[in-house]
Structure 1
Amino acid sequence: MPQRAPTVDPGRVPDSELEDRFGRRFAYLRLSITDVCNFRCEYCLPDGYQGKPTGFLNRDEIQRLVSAFAELGIRKLRITGGEPLVRKDALAILADAAATPGIEKLALTTNAFNLAAQAEALRDAGLSAVNISLDSLDRQGFERITGDKRHEKVLAGVDAAIAAGIPSVKINTVLLGGLNDQEIPDFMEYVRERPVAVRFIELMQTADNGDYFRRRHVSGQTVADRLQAAGWSPMQRGETDGPAVEYSHPDYAGRIGLIAPYAPGFCDGCNRLRVTARGGLRLCLFGNGTHDLRPLLQDEADKAALKRSICQTLVGKEVSHHLHEGDFGDTPHLASTGG
């Protein structure tokens, strides 16, 4: 449910190191370790990855970054991409992060192209949550949306994550008019016996998907209305939870969630920061510019300066995105910043 809007006070002196001038505190970091993705989702990378797969933070730089953020109060870390598991050292990066003092919850977002083979190793590395991108339960629908034929492998990855005992297993489904919005009842049935959460994500406009957005955007309110009409009830949001409003039902083992960035009050409870795969601190997914932290990641002796730089940059965080005004910042596509 929308939370109380933060008080706008540009002159506010934060009470804690990771608090912005509107009184919002940040305990959740989303860290991209690559912008490479091996799927061709038509809402994100319809022509496939076109960047240069070089220059990403190395394992030592990542660990210095994670340690500094943990000392500033980050308790939940999500490793994202692109597709993070295309990195050969992804498992080692996750194990390093899980062993970092202060990190209480380690999460991963993946398209699950190889999750079935890696689920137990990821659990053993300390992974406590996995979010799996799955935009259709139908094989043909999946292939149409993702440009990939590994539908069965993705479904097997969901079941493998559950079987491995990873504590939190969630599915991310981008809601697309005329492509998968008719599958909402199917996803409800999918969680009847499975202890997973399916979260429908409202399609967001970026720099390169304007025409597609206008054709396929469906308001998240349509999902909320259907859930409540079917007897689902919204759940309380935790301090380190992401932006989803999750719904439960006594007859279902799983949950249904909704991420609706165009809903009123969406930014009020913002609790997360983002760092790109090359070390750029982004204060908002749909903001402009990044603050380069990489020069301060070369030596452990720079940690104090790194933490000061993070805190000073946070002062510039705005109260809200400007998606309602058609301003999506300088985000070209979601794979570029980890979503």
Structure 2
Amino acid sequence: MSQLVDDFGRKYSYLRLSVTDVCNFKCSYCLPDGYKPEGKPSFLRLDEIQRLLRAFASVGTQKVRITGGEPTLRKDFTDIIRAANDTKGIKTIATTTNGYRLETHAKEWFDAGLRRINVSMDSLDPRQFQQITGENKFHQVMRGIDAALEAGFKRIKINAVLLKGLNDNDLPKFLSWLKTRPIDVRFIELMETGLGRDYFQEHHLSGNTIKAKLLAQGWFHQLPQATDGPAINFCHPDHQGRIGLIMPYSKDFCSTCNRLRVSATGKLHLCLFTEAGVVLRDLLQDDNQQQELIERLHQQLHQKKATHDLHHGITGITKHLASIGG
């Protein structure tokens, strides 16, 4: 099958697949009031996920990131990893997690085929961690990161949302932490969502502030690989770890887009900040629907825009990032 390519020549080899929008944390920038279901949730079943993965793999997807909400809340999370690992054409299986189950399950997930883990860790200060996440689980998550390294994961990525007035002075702590550890810390610019305009205006800080500090301290830019996400990575000869910056408000951020998203209820999202999702679930009920599903994917790529509209304050209908997997 021909690879997914949009009208701007961008090729799509990376799928972010949400398997639940439920989360047990209450992060101030995402779910400050905790998870509140809208009716009875009906998330994709394992057999539907298997058909979806086969279709995407047949049109060039090589990397799958299993997301949420908190994806490890799914009782069949390990089975989902195995399903991705058994899909011909999928070369890299990743997940993004808050890390609360890593300590006890890292080895199990590694053995099932998971190879990359991103852990949300917005501060290295336990009190500030609790202030941001609403949970007193800092030490549990830190033990989970150590357990993942011991289980065989080569490099752990830490996601830290850059928050003015909260963690914007934490760079020295993070640099010290990754000096002797194979850990990538990625600072993500706060993005405005439908529920967070006031919060955004109070706490948004450009990643360029971190970039300037890194360059001044001898860090240098690394060239990206084909299946990498949107981070700009920086290395230093005296550090095992790396620093990454994800700056969605930067010029040409969307020009190298290589990823599509499918929500936990089976909707295709062409962009994180899209006005609507495209239903795929009706074509996930039977193995004989694969060709029709593939044709729908190709057709919908023509609707993808050249760039998002965040600069104009247009955030789409996404209420919070947990709803379509961030």
What is the TM-score when the length of structure 1 is the normalising length? 0.95
- Structure 1 residue 17: deviation in Å? 3.4
Partner deviation per Cα, 1:250-271 (whole Å, 9 max, x = no partner): 0000000000000101000000
Aligned equivalents of 1:223 and 1:99: distance in 2? Answer: 40
Are 1:38 and 2:24 an aligned pair? yes
Aligned equivalents of 2:156 and 2:54: distance in 1? Answer: 25
Aligned equivalents of 1:263 and 1:141: distance in 2? Answer: 28
Q: Which residue of 2 aligns with 1:126?
A: 113
Q: Which residue of 2 aligns with 1:187?
A: 174
Structure 2 unaligned residues grouped into runs of 5+: none
Aligned equivalents of 2:157 and 2:287: distance in 1? Answer: 35
Are 1:338 and 2:321 an aligned pair? no
For residues 4-83 of structure 1, the aligned pairs below 5 Å read: 16-52=2-38, 54-83=41-70
- Structure 1 residue 331: deviation in Å? 1.0
Are 1:85 and 2:35 an aligned pair? no
Partner amino acid, structure 2, of 1:162: L
- Structure 1 residue 167: deviation in Å? 2.8
Partner amino acid, structure 2, of 1:247: F
Aligned equivalents of 1:180 and 1:282: distance in 2? Answer: 30
Q: 2:86 aligns with which of 76, 95, 99?
A: 99
Structure 1 unaligned residues grouped into runs of 5+: 1-14
Q: 1:201 aligns with which of 167, 188, 206?
A: 188
Q: Which residue of 1 aligns with 2:230?
A: 243
Partner amino acid, structure 2, of 1:19: V
Aligned equivalents of 1:227 and 1:286: distance in 2? Answer: 29
Partner deviation per Cα, 1:139-184 (whole Å, 9 max, x = no partner): 0000000000111011111111111111331000000011101101
Partner amino acid, structure 1, of 2:25: F
Aligned equivalents of 2:219 and 2:108: distance in 1? Answer: 35
- What's the C-alpha RMSD, in Å, of the aligned pairs? 1.0
Partner deviation per Cα, 1:196-250 (whole Å, 9 max, x = no partner): 1000000000000000000000101001111111110010111110000010000
Partner amino acid, structure 2, of 1:25: K
Aligned equivalents of 2:247 and 2:288: distance in 1? Answer: 41
Q: 1:290 aligns with which of 271, 277, 286?
A: 277
Partner amino acid, structure 2, of 1:176: L
Q: Which residue of 1 aligns with 2:214?
A: 227
Q: Contact between 2:3 and 2:12, CA under 8 Å: does it hold in 1? A: no
Aligned equivalents of 2:181 and 2:62: distance in 1? Answer: 27
Partner deviation per Cα, 1:54-73 (whole Å, 9 max, x = no partner): 20000000010011100111
Aligned equivalents of 2:60 and 2:324: distance in 1? Answer: 22
Q: Name segments (4+ residues, structure 1) moved above 2 Å.
A: none
Aligned equivalents of 1:131 and 1:168: distance in 2? Answer: 9
Identical residues among aligned pairs (%): 51
- Structure 1 residue 16: deviation in Å? 4.3
Q: 2:198 aligns with which of 181, 197, 211?
A: 211
What is the TM-score when the length of structure 2 is the normalising length? 0.98
Aligned equivalents of 1:68 and 1:115: distance in 2? Answer: 30
